[in-house]
Structure 1
Amino acid sequence: MAVPRRREGSRPTFSQAMRRWGLWVGVFVVALGLGGWVVYRIYFAKPGVAIPIQQPSDYELRVGETVRYNSVPPTSGPYASATTDWGIHDRPIPDEIQVHMLRLGGILVQYRPVESPALEDPVAEGLKRLIGRLRTEHVEKYCKVIVAPYPRLQKKIALTAWGRLDAFDAEEITPEIEQRIMRFLDRLMDAYNPERAGCP
């Protein structure tokens, strides 16, 4: 006895409808998960890479005292009692002072300087302009930022906060790099500030 064929235009069977419905639910769940991951990365994830926290020593360091930090530049660990001014510096800042400034809730924006002072350095000039503008237009919000050279960098730019590091290469400060720096500042400035230090 021949099995009757389903006529064109007739309704799908219950199992076919369920498979089709399940496929659409699966696509929706994947899209929702991907969208959630993107939103998390943009709005909630901390920028940069997490660096294991080195505990401070039982005593404050003297400036120039040798310490083996677990990142370059340092992001935590023993620190000197001395501090430095926020803002733009033309000379490298000792590691042990950098760590103290991070402990106060600050951010360091450092760059690898060009080999000869006679050469132009568009990255250095761009960073100085950006941070100078931010500190002028938004005094309270961006008061705890330091820009300084750091000859030991492997990448051209390194952003540091307590326990976070974002190092990358650049030939100039583009709008994309400005956004990257701004996101680091906005998410991590004062994220760690056990001394509850305010702006000077």
Structure 2
Amino acid sequence: MNRRWLGPVVSVVVTVLSVATMSSLGVGVLVGLVGGDTALPCDRLPGTAQPFEGDRHIAYEGAPHEPYRTVPPTSGPHSPRVVVPGIYRDAVPEELQVHALEHGHVLVQYAPDVPPGDVEKLERLGRRHPRDVVVAPYPPLGHGIGLTGWQRLGRLDTLDERAVEEFIERIAGRYDHSWQHGAADCVSG
């Protein structure tokens, strides 16, 4: 190919790719606006719906506030700080748990009686969803595994990887400071 044609050919290719990229982004936005109500109805969700306990910020982790009604908590007063999704070897303070839930994340927490091999499997499941899941120990459970999303609670006596995966896939992102994608409060709505 003649070198004097190289510049215009590259310009045309870059322009075509840019237009194609922008067009696909535009189509994605339109689909989101027109068909964005993709949330599953309440009766198809794993776990049980929990009443709204508020969403106010407290001054710091451990600051006095009304007690949470569920173990682990599913909504309520929380820290203004947020814990990022990931694998934690120490328990996450409840006030940080709730703030993670408010951002649409799912917490997968385990009691001291969960075997180390099952903890490794839970951590592996968490790594499959690096933007959505916090995996951590939670001694107040006393027994088994707790799965939480905003106003949603699941409990497992023993590890059921399919149930954990289903909870993550169906609950993560339903709530992010408000109900998303057509999701609704399953207690009052």
TM-score > 0.5 by shorter chain: yes
Q: 5+ unaligned residues in a row in structure 2: which ranges?
A: 1-39, 180-189
Alignment partners' CA distance in 1, 2:178 and 2:52: 17
Give, in angstroms, the shift of residue 61 of structure 1: 3.5
Number of corresponding residues: 139
The answer for the alignment partner of 1:64 in structure 2 is: 62
The answer for the alignment partner of 2:140 in structure 1 is: 152
TM-score (norm 1): 0.63
1:152 counterpart SS class: helix
Structure 1 or 2, whichever has the larger Rg, is 1
TM-score (norm 2): 0.66
The answer for the alignment partner of 1:19 in structure 2 is: none
Identity %: 36
2:141 counterpart SS class: coil
User: For residues 9-88 of structure 1, what are the structure 2 equivalents within 5 Å?
Assistant: 45-57=44-56, 59-67=57-65, 68-88=67-87
Residues 76-107 of structure 1: per-residue CA shift (max 9 Å, x gap): 00111011221100000000110000000000
2:148 counterpart SS class: strand
Residues 140-186 of structure 1: per-residue CA shift (max 9 Å, x gap): xx51200000001033100000000001111xx4xxx1211111111
Q: 5+ unaligned residues in a row in structure 1: which ranges?
A: 1-40, 136-141
2:166 counterpart SS class: helix
Alignment partners' CA distance in 2, 1:79 and 1:110: 18
Alignment partners' CA distance in 1, 2:51 and 2:178: 20
The answer for the alignment partner of 2:163 in structure 1 is: 180
CA RMSD, Structure 1 to Structure 2 (Å): 2.5
Alignment partners' CA distance in 1, 2:149 and 2:91: 17
Runs of 4+ in 1 over 6 A off after TM superposition: none
Structure 2 counterpart of 1:62, one-letter code: Y
